Each structure stands twice: as C-alpha cells, then as structure tokens.
Amino acid sequence: MMMNQTHVQQAQNNAIQSKIGGGGGGGGGGNRPVKDNKPRGRMTAYAFFVQTCREEHKKKHPEEQVIFAEFSRKCAERWKMLDKEKQRFHEMAEKDKARYELEMQSYVPPKGTVVGKGKKRKAFKDPNAPKRSLSAFFWFCHEERNKVKALNPEYGVGDIAKELGRKWSDMDAEVKSRYEQMAEKDKARY
C-alpha cells in the first residue's frame, strides 16, 4: 500500500515537472545542480494524510483547480477531528522512516561537498587559501564608496553601486589606469 502511494506521488511530481519544464532530460541548462541520488526525505503522518486527502479530492473533482490555502485549512480541520484513523497514517510514517534510515545507511554523499544544516551544500573552502585578487573596478569602489555615501546619505546599497558604475564608465582612461595597475599588483600577489 505504501509503495503504491509513493509511486503515485512520484508520478504526480514527474507530471508537474514535465508541465513546468523543470528537471529531467537534456536541453536547456538550468541552475539546478545534478541530482546525486540522495534518498527522498521521510514523510510525516500528517503528510501522508494530506496526500490521501488530495488524491480523494482529485478523484471526486478531477477538473477542479485546488486553492492551496483553502485545501490546507480543510485538511488541518479534518486532521484535528480524526483520532481512530490517525493510527493508520502514523504507521505509514513509521514505515517510511524505516525506509529512509535504511537508504541513508547506504548513501554516500558526493566528494568535495560538506553537508551542513538544511538542504544546501557548500564546497569545502581552505581557510588558509589566499584571498582572490580584486579587479580595477573593485579597487575604485573601495576608494570611492565612502565619498558617494557621504554626498548621498539617502542612497541604499543598490543606488551606491549604480552611482559607482556610472562614475567608472565616465572616468578617463588615465585615471582608470591607476586602478588597473593596482589590480595588476594584486593579481601578482595572488
């Protein structure tokens, strides 16, 4: 029974992904990282309940568009009213927890990544590595940012960046060469 529900859920997710053009096969390089076969997270008893409610609703009203907030509120009300049926969903959650723990025992995360809190992974960074060199524009910004801030105290970060960019593009080549020399020295250091 549980396996059928997870397959149904996967089929629904795949259908949604194909409609919105996400995930899967070739073409278009998105910003999403390559999937690393990490086991799907475990579901709670309430998640199984909501999934069942959704399937029931779809069978009764196949053409109706679901309003998520309203549907969630109704599910929450029904969940509070249930007592005897909750046990069934708690058993499903326990089975799914056992599945997840079993799959996680054999899971090996990809090399070169550090697993932190949440779902994001961050590449390992050597704390002793030298800082990257700054570009000529960054040297210019480093010197001019406080001047722009003083002249325009009401400017936010974005406005200051726009003003610095405008000044940089209007600047003479002779003045720019000073910052370019600073960037070259920094590049040699790096």
Q: Are 18 and 24 in contact (CB under 8 A)?
A: yes
| Domain boundaries, given as residue ranges, for the chain | 1-13+39-107, 136-189
Q: Strand, helix or coil at 122?
A: strand
CATH architecture of 1-13+39-107: Orthogonal Bundle (1.10)
Could you write out the DSSP letters of every residue in 107-120?
Answer: --PPTTEEE-SSS-
What is the pLDDT tens value at each position of the chain, 190 positions in all? 444 445 555 555 554 444 444 444 444 444 555 566 788 888 998 998 899 889 888 898 888 888 888 888 988 988 888 888 888 889 999 999 999 888 888 888 777 655 555 556 677 777 777 788 888 888 888 888 998 889 888 988 999 999 999 999 998 888 888 888 888 888 888 7
Q: Are 110 and 17 in contact (CB under 8 A)?
A: no
Rg (CA), the chain: 27
What pTM was estimated for this model as a whole?
A: 0.42
Q: Would the CATH topology of 1-13+39-107 be identical to that of 136-189?
A: yes
- Per CATH, domain 136-189 is 1.10.3470: no
Residue 3, amino acid: M
